[in-house]
Amino acid sequence: MSWSRVVPAALALCLLVACTSGSQSTQPQPTPASSSAAPPTDTETSDPALAAFYDQHIAWRGCHNGFDCTKVRVPVDYAAPTGPSIALSVVRLRSKGGDRLGSLLLNPGGPGASGVGYAEAADRVTSGDVRKHYDIVGFDPRGVGESAPIRCLSDSEMDTFTAQDGSPDDSAEEAQLVRLSKLFGERCAAGNGGLLAHVGTRDSARDLDVLRGVLGDARLNFLGKSYGTYLGAIYAEMFPDRVGRLVLDGVVDPAADAAALARSQAIGFERALASFVDDCLRRRGCPLSGDRTHALGQVSGILDAADRTPLRGTRPVTQSLALLGMAYSMYDPALWPVLREALAQAINGNGSTLLLLADFYLNRNAKGHYTTNGNDAMYAVTCLDRGETTDLTALQARASAFDAVAPRFGAYLAWGFLPCAYWSVPPEGKAAPIQAPGAGPILVVGTTRDPATPYAFAKNLAAELDSGRLLTYDGDGHTAYKEGSGCIDDAVDAYLVDGKLPDEGTRCR
């Protein structure tokens, strides 16, 4: 399951806002957003072949809605910069004011989500004050969107893969899951040449630094959400002296391995589902009844029924598709009314709205075409970052353990990384805490009932980083900045524009 999906702009929330702050503490020295001084000592560009990428000339052209577009070339393999290269798709919205602080690069997560599309929604995902002081820059990471996209499965093959039983109950279902996971790996290896070994987060972090250099910024200013927090943290580890103002919102903990990540996500989605159920039971017309335990049992009943016989829809709505529809609804409480209607239908065997939600999650349109390569790229990046075991006995035990703490989502997420067990290239390293000594202050934002990136991850990363500062949103949904809390927005803007960190212990509602 992907770490992030961008919820449509029309589903923005309105929330009552309040802030409480902890005790006053000494503020770390703010890191300049930009500087006219020379960049920090650049050992990465001592190789003339690599320096050529930092020094490349780019030609911006007006493209649409006030944005400029360009391509930036980066080496496929940074260890062999004279070898093949690829072009990253980049867009820019110029700053609106005279007091320009540099560029602010954005990443919305995924992995596999388009940073170009995210930046094109700049008026929704950043504040007017930030747009006044920064050029907003979005890019499709390598292997994503318009940046040498990874392609693996055809539309029909992706339909089969996403509809399969992702929480197998017997040996036949396990064998089918293994067969399709192997097929995924084989198709990715066959269609993407040498790039497949170089779409991991460390290569993308190097791309970030090339973009920083090409844009003329001495330091990187960055807003990363969900998986984008992992990209930002890896950048800080690799290039601490080039860290400007980094906002990491909806954290993926670098210290969490595949199993720990999946378990935490399963618990996070269960917590979010319980929050939805509590809200539903307070509303007239809620299709669920009784107390929370009884209502959650009704949700389980819908999923169990779909496991036995798919629900009705424009194509069969399997248990996995029904679960994806529910999971998508957990990303934003603005979707909860849609989920209430979907569950009312599903109780009567109709899975049409759950399927619609699942297809939004998967970027599948009504004609059966997957409109982005996000599902392919998500595995391509994840399998390099975090490996998986081929020991089915261990995975069975994991599924059973996860099911005990997350009865709806646990088993599905326990098996979720299985394609990585059959990947053609090995993972790049092991999960480990990131300290980034020498980096300037980094703002870490966590949401207490975030389904996909649990709040504990934000607490962990803020503590792991030498210069981390935690900002807490006490609420629902995935990520917090520009999601309805004026308190969060003001605190993030104060950091990005003025370099002022929130006080230790600041909590927003």
Give CA 267 to chain center in angstroms: 17
The side-by-side arrangement of strands in the sheet containing 67-75 is: 19-20, 507-508, 468-476, 442-449, 243-249, 220-225, 102-107, 134-139, 85-93, 67-75, 61-64
Report phi then psi at 67, rounded to 5.
Answer: -90, 155
d(CA 95, CA 126): 12
CA distances from 306 to 143, 302, 315 (A): 34, 6, 13
Q: Which of 226, 275, 320, 329 is catalytic?
A: 226
> Smallest Cα–Cα separation from 443: which of 499, 484, 483?
499
- Per-residue b/e over 60-99, b at no fewer than 16 CB within 10 Å? eeeeeeebbbbebebbbebeebeeeebebbbbbbebbeee
Q: Which of 478, 485, 489, 493 is catalytic?
A: 478
Q: Which helix (H) or strand (E) holds 237?
A: helix 227-238
The two tokens of residue 453 are 């990136």
Q: Which of 450, 476, 489, 493 is catalytic?
A: 450
Q: Is 385 a catalytic residue?
A: no
**Taking a C-beta distance cutoff of 8 angstroms, is the pair 78, 49 a contact?**
no
> Smallest Cα–Cα separation from 128: which of 76, 180, 165, 93?
93
- Per-residue b/e over 313-329, b at no fewer than 16 CB within 10 Å? beeebbbbbbbbbbbbb
What DSSP state is assigned to residue 77? -
d(CA 364, CA 346): 21
State the sign of the Cα–Cα–Cα–Cα dihedral 271, 275, 278, 281. Answer: negative
The two tokens of residue 206 are 């190097």
**Taking a C-beta distance cutoff of 8 angstroms, is the pair 371, 364 a contact?**
yes
Q: Is 478 a catalytic residue?
A: yes
The two tokens of residue 309 are 């016989």
Report phi then psi at 254, rounded to 5.
Answer: -60, -20
d(CA 4, CA 229): 11
> Smallest Cα–Cα separation from 115: which of 252, 6, 254, 253?
6
The residues assigned a catalytic role are 226, 450, 478
